[in-house]
Structure 1
Amino acid sequence: MGSLLWLALVLAIAGAVLNGLGALWQNTAVRGKQSGKLVSLAALLHLLRNRRWLMGQLAVVIGSALHFGALAFAPVTVIQPIGVLGIAVTTVASARRDRSGLSVGTWLSLMAIVLGVGGFTSLAASNAQVTRVSDETAVLIAMIVGLLLMVLGLIGSIGHGLVRCLAFAAGGGVVFGFASVVIRLAALSLEHGNPADFPTGSLIGAILSIPVAVWFIQQAHASGPPDLVVAALTLADPIVAIGIGYVVLGEGAKTPTIATLAEIVCFLIAAVGILMLPKTRRKPAAGAKANLRTAQYSES
């Protein structure tokens, strides 16, 4: 791999670590006040005075910036799966916070995630290609993303518990995946010196969707544990980004059938690890729960 690709991988990994930690800190702050409820605008404004939430938001912003920076040097299909590693960071940090330790099942789930993401990234780095996208196609992508957000938002609003958590977290992942594709298109237009290809409309749409994603993710945090939030977010994120990258951007046009099947297997391995991870976590001890509640209210 070239030096720029190595730089992209380092940026993406660092971004995943910060996003994972930021999700944990935000979850602690949100569930301290809004556990199981829809987060109102007033509650969101109140969170702006919560140091733990602000620290988590800062980590997410920096992590996202590093992730988007990585897309300037490598294809979407290479960079996007690395974000899945954020769930491993969230799980380990959450276990340390709860003083609950990690079970054998948790370690196996984490291994599946790392091996699946590593295998997928390696294959994608060797085979990904990029083609130009028309303005009409970019608009179509934005419309599809908007429709997905409406559906997931409706499910999250009428659902409860884990259904609400998964729907809203997946909505945040849809926005993040869409933004990643737009950033990649913008980087390609600048790299190739084609200002006419710059996705101005899509970029504006991605920027306007960020507040929606923030609201979605806070709703998810209020309804579920941090590892489940990150699991749903990071699973929806690469599905959207890689799906667009392969089907619309043509990044998989020249990928051999065997390589494509291998990539699918690797992604499924990572997906199984993500879905099993929340089920294998040990429950925190009673003392750890009491300490966590004290920390949540002291940060308010």
Structure 2
Amino acid sequence: MTASSYEVWLGITFGVLSCAAYTAAAVAQRRLAVRITEPLTGRGQLGSLLRHPLWWVSLVFNGGRAGFQVAAVSFAPLTVVQPLGVLVLIFGVPWSARLAHRRVTRAEWRGTAYTTVALGALLAVTVTGGRGGVLSAEDSVLVGAGTVALLAAVAWGAGRVPSPAWRSYLLAAAAGVAFGVSSAAVKTAVWAFGEGVSAGIAHPSALAAPVIAVLGLFLAQAAYQGVDLGAPLGVTTLANPVAAAIVGVSFMGESYAGGWAGGAIALVCAFVAAYGIRLLTVPSADAAQAARRAPEPDPRS
């Protein structure tokens, strides 16, 4: 194994650990969403969120996720690390079923299989043979400001959507974009601090990374209200690598192995993963029947 491939696999290992930590954080956030019933997109709800111990528990796990993510993107390109986010959904499916007091359905197992196969194929065509590039200072400002504006617009619009499901989908997509873009900003900030402390502090990505990541945490928390864990987690999982790939390819000089052929394979993998996520997030008949038979979850648990 060459040094370059060793670094890529080391980045993948840290990426898997990051997914495990994020799954634990998502479970804590879902449990918190059961206790705070009012939409967090409304006014006056932020205080009740910050006063709850589960919010701080989720922050601890998200801190671990962020640490592993920093290590992952330090060794591997974004186009390799971000598709691993699908594992969050695979880890979270049993938890989602447990929270709903039911078994994992056959459709959910099929969805897990589709996403796993798509992930393996996607990794095979996304390895670029290096760590990838970083954002320039100008691109950091452009990407950071544009992302913050987009997240604010989506949050504003979601707060005015009457359907809890569609509000959740919009917020979850915005959270996925935030996590994907923040990974690019983190990768750049790590490089900048490697050039010196003053260079790191002065680089716009050092500010953009925490701001966008915190916005993503609040958006994800709001997305878990009124729906099961699987739906927002699935949307976030799909939006995350898409946003990261767009930033990586457009601004950081990353590319898919095999040129256009590799890109075409990646596109097919994305559709397969999307179908798998649909199986995981759209309630099937047997899941609905099990949910009707099961007792309502206790908000105090």
Q: Normalized against structure 2, the TM-score is what?
A: 0.86
1:33-182 → structure 2 map (5 Å cutoff): 33-34=36-37, 37-38=39-40, 42-126=44-128, 130-131=132-133, 133-160=135-162, 161-182=164-185
Letter in 1 for 2:110: L
1:52 and 1:196 map into 2 onto residues whose CA distance is 36
Asked if structure 2 preserves the Cα contact closer than 8 Å seen for 1:26 and 1:57, the reply is no
Shift in CA distance, 93/76, structure 1 to aligned 2, threshold 3 Å:
same
CA shift, 1:106, in A, is: 0.9
Shift in CA distance, 87/149, structure 1 to aligned 2, threshold 3 Å:
same
CA shift, 1:51, in A, is: 4.2
Asked if structure 2 preserves the Cα contact closer than 8 Å seen for 1:128 and 1:254, the reply is no
Asked if structure 2 preserves the Cα contact closer than 8 Å seen for 1:83 and 1:234, the reply is yes
Asked if structure 2 preserves the Cα contact closer than 8 Å seen for 1:127 and 1:255, the reply is no
1:203 paired to 2:206:
yes
Which residue number corresponds to residue 18 of structure 2?
15
Please say which of residues 157-166 and 280-289 is displaced more in the overlay. 280-289
Letter in 2 for 1:114: T
SS at match of 2:276: helix
SS at match of 1:72: helix
1:41 and 1:211 map into 2 onto residues whose CA distance is 18
1:81 and 1:192 map into 2 onto residues whose CA distance is 28
1:83 and 1:245 map into 2 onto residues whose CA distance is 16
CA shift, 1:96, in A, is: 2.7
1:258 paired to 2:261:
yes
Q: Gaps spanning 5+ residues in structure 1: where? A: none
Pick aligned residue for 1:243 from 243, 246, 251:
246
Letter in 2 for 1:279: V
2:127 and 2:196 map into 1 onto residues whose CA distance is 23
Q: Normalized against structure 1, the TM-score is what?
A: 0.86
CA shift, 1:285, in A, is: 4.6
Shift in CA distance, 187/104, structure 1 to aligned 2, threshold 3 Å:
same
Shift in CA distance, 134/255, structure 1 to aligned 2, threshold 3 Å:
farther
CA shift, 1:3, in A, is: 2.8
Asked if structure 2 preserves the Cα contact closer than 8 Å seen for 1:129 and 1:250, the reply is no
Asked if structure 2 preserves the Cα contact closer than 8 Å seen for 1:106 and 1:280, the reply is no
Which residue number corresponds to residue 225 of structure 1?
228
1:259 and 1:56 map into 2 onto residues whose CA distance is 37
Shift in CA distance, 166/132, structure 1 to aligned 2, threshold 3 Å:
closer
CA shift, 1:169, in A, is: 1.4
Asked if structure 1 preserves the Cα contact closer than 8 Å seen for 2:28 and 2:54, the reply is yes
Asked if structure 2 preserves the Cα contact closer than 8 Å seen for 1:15 and 1:67, the reply is yes
Letter in 2 for 1:125: V
Letter in 2 for 1:55: V
1:272 paired to 2:275:
yes
Q: Percent identity?
A: 22
2:266 and 2:198 map into 1 onto residues whose CA distance is 33
Letter in 2 for 1:57: L
Deviations 1:228-278 (A, max 9, x none): 111121222111111110121110177421111111111221122113311
1:253 and 1:262 map into 2 onto residues whose CA distance is 9
Number of aligned positions between the proteins? 294
Shift in CA distance, 169/287, structure 1 to aligned 2, threshold 3 Å:
same
SS at match of 1:179: helix
Asked if structure 1 preserves the Cα contact closer than 8 Å seen for 2:41 and 2:159, the reply is no
1:78 and 1:197 map into 2 onto residues whose CA distance is 24
Asked if structure 2 preserves the Cα contact closer than 8 Å seen for 1:135 and 1:199, the reply is no
CA shift, 1:45, in A, is: 3.4
Shift in CA distance, 199/86, structure 1 to aligned 2, threshold 3 Å:
farther
Q: Gaps spanning 5+ residues in structure 2: where? A: none
1:135 and 1:19 map into 2 onto residues whose CA distance is 29
Deviations 1:184-230 (A, max 9, x none): 22334456889868872122022223332222222211232211111
Shift in CA distance, 24/31, structure 1 to aligned 2, threshold 3 Å:
same
